[in-house]
A and B are shown apart, each in its own frame.
Chain A
Amino acid sequence: MNWSVLAALAFAFALDVPAASPPKSAECLTCHDDKGAAFQSSVHGSFSCTDCHTAIKGYPHPENQAKVKCDTCHNDPVSGVKASVHATASAQPCQGCHGDAHGILPASDPKSSTYASNLPRTCGGCHGDAKFAKQHKISEVYSMYMDSIHGFALTKDGLLVAASCSSCHGSHKILSKRDPASRTNRANIAETCGKCHAGPNRDYQAGIHGQGMATGDARAPVCTNCHTSHQIADVRTASWQMKTTATCGSCHGEQLKTYHDTFHAQVSALGYIETARCWDCHGFHDIRPANDQKSTIAKANLEATCGKCHSGVTKSFVSYQPHADRHNRQDYPILWASSIFMNMLLASVLGFFALHTLLWLMRSLSDRRKGRPAEGEI
């Protein structure tokens, strides 16, 4: 090559550098070659360095540059985070979840930290730390989630439709459950869960619990009251079914007490799954009061309900009282009277013979101490 051409080129470069157009990425990599490979394959790989590092106009550039503003392009996510519980989380809130700024991968990439099945681990970086949880007065939810039916499905089975953190909490604008606008606020839980569980949600809305919620009854339970929020178990497992009675009983204390007096409860307490628990008779999501014609415990439906377990059910059979209270004279007079009678029978028979036995014992011992008197002697 002609040296004059070279010189011309060099001159042109020299002129070009301090001019308005920013340096090419290749030039940046002369120094910042450590960023190159990751950046090339990142979601931003087609951009040049100065698309984000807008303040850099040439070389050499000042040491301390203004922070990259992600919201230049990602306005919604960034303003979401700014309004969320993570607003003050760190100086670089985006990188906390999306990882190294130069290697950000799209959420659809299995290697991405925000890929559905990687997300729990990403969030767990903070929310799986007991010290962190204590410091922020929140639960250490990572391990709870990982052992849940959602956690298993997503991370063990790779079932990508299974709920990940963001499915319920959202991704950028995560709000405290105390915030009425939060997806995990009590008022919005059914809708949040219902995004996937449409059937249960439809049933729940029709049932007394959903109706209670709709009319603003503060006592009405939402999904998480029964299923918990992070430890959600497979409802077909014995361990879950064993717990359900206590769960219902935490609100329905009186019913739990009366249930405990029945054979159903006695066998279920011993770990017998195939016995009637609350939801076997009452249903679960569309629980309705007995005066509702559609209720499983409406008079007309009792034979079908009891018949789920008992064969040969008759009208007479279903007059059985699964919540009979022997102390309630008004509603269960025969049971009440039987209870009184049995108590009196027990007390009188055992009391009488206890006395008989005691007197006998005393007399016999006295005889033995004195030396045995002759037959028939007093």
Chain B
Amino acid sequence: MKYDDVTTVGRPATAPDGAPVSPDQGARYYQRFSVPQRFLHGFLAVTFLGLAITGLTLRFSAEGWATTLAHGVGGFGTILFFHLFSAVVLTIAFLIHVANLVYRIVARKEYGLVWGTNSMVPNLKDIQDFIAQIKWFFWRGPKPKFDRYAYWDKVDYWAVFWGMAIIGLSGYAMWFAPFFARFIPGSLLNVALLIHGEEAILAVGFIFTIHFFNTHLRPDNFPMDMVIFNGRQSEEELKERHPEEYKRLVESGQLEKLRVEAPPRWLQNFGRVFGTTAIVVGFIFLSLMIVAFVKE
């Protein structure tokens, strides 16, 4: 087994011969995500949870749990306040991300962000990987060799982009309805609420099931992938999950430049608590949402 104890909770890592190994020992760690990237994910996670909790409360306001929650936090005003507050924080984080991308591409001419192995832009290899993955599901081929970002990573990334655009725009249109009504007919505000709610249900359904599974809960990563919290992955993980990237880094001699120390224990614990909380809260509201949705 190739598990590294650092990325798993509650299951002792074992060496290939089956003997247990203590954490961090012998493993070489490489940087995958920078501190700003991890913070971006953190802000995204916190604000998304905030928006999901308050938004679902609004969307399913006829449900008992929604009124109980609203009364519990001091009334509806609090729910709407936190919804808008989270929205603003998320918008700022999103704009900083976009501004940073534009700066790096335009001013620093990092065209690798636009196209190539380090880019989030889908390419032919993603389609090939996807087909290969489907074949692998049915024992019809080997597991595809992913580069830095697998196709589902890109789906996750662009889903947020799409969601931000759709949910964000429709949300701000409702928040500043009279202002937006100068440019769009007021009847589109009806559409705005519909799209806002449905798209949000899609986002919540996607993040709390597909994203949680793809990156954290699937058997290879269970119970969670710590890389987004500590920013590092072991050599084993890098080799197994991103073989193409590993090969490329070794061949170009860039790998050692990414070498970092093993993640400190506090960071591991922080990541576990943060991740577990997000997943538990996510699942609670996912179940509430599904029940309410089916009842409708």
Contact = CB atoms under 8 A, between A and B. Distances in A.
User: Which 10 pairs across A and B sit closest by C-beta, in order of nearness?
Assistant: A317-B181, A320-B186, A272-B76, A269-B61, A342-B198, A312-B178, A270-B76, A319-B186, A359-B137, A270-B70
A271 B76 contact: yes
Contacts of A345: 198, 202
A342 B194 contact: yes
B213 A335 contact: no
A271 B145 CA distance: 54
Interface in B57-76: 57-59, 61-62, 66-67, 70-71, 75-76
Contact of B58 (A267, A313, A326, A354): A267
Contacts of A363: 136-137, 139
Contacts of A376: 142-143, 145
Contacts of A310: 177-178
B191 A270 contact: no
Contacts of B191: 334-335, 338
Interface string B142-180: 110100000000010000000000000000001001110
Contacts of A320: 177, 181, 186-187, 189-190
Given A262-B193, A375-B240, A319 B185 contact: yes
A319 B219 contact: no
A363 B133 CA distance: 10
B80 A312 contact: no
A272 B141 CA distance: 58
Given A267-B61, A319-B186, A376-B142, A346 B218 contact: no
Given A270-B70, A378-B139, A346 B210 contact: no
B142 A377 contact: yes
A350 interface: yes
How extensive is the interface on chain A, given as a class?
35 or more
A334 B71 CA distance: 35
A269 B77 CA distance: 12
A15 to B, nearest CB: 88
B186 A326 contact: no
B178 A311 contact: yes
Please report whether the interface of chain B is mostly helix, strand, loop or mixed according to DSSP.
helix
A344 to B, nearest CB: 10
Interface of A: 260, 262-263, 265-267, 269-272, 310-314, 316-321, 324, 326, 332, 334-335, 338-339, 342-343, 345-346, 349-350, 353-354, 356-357, 359-365, 367-368, 372, 375-378
Contacts of A326: 194
A269 B62 contact: yes
A270 B66 contact: yes
Contacts of A335: 187, 190-191, 194
Nearest to B176: A312
B178 A346 contact: no
B295 interface: no
Contact of A342 (B186, B187, B195): B195
A267 B76 contact: yes
Given A267-B61, A310-B177, A364-B218, A334 B206 contact: no
Contact of B198 (A272, A317, A346, A356): A346
Interface in B185-214: 185-191, 193-195, 198-199, 201-202, 205-206, 209-210, 213-214
Contacts of B59: 266
Contacts of B139: 363, 378
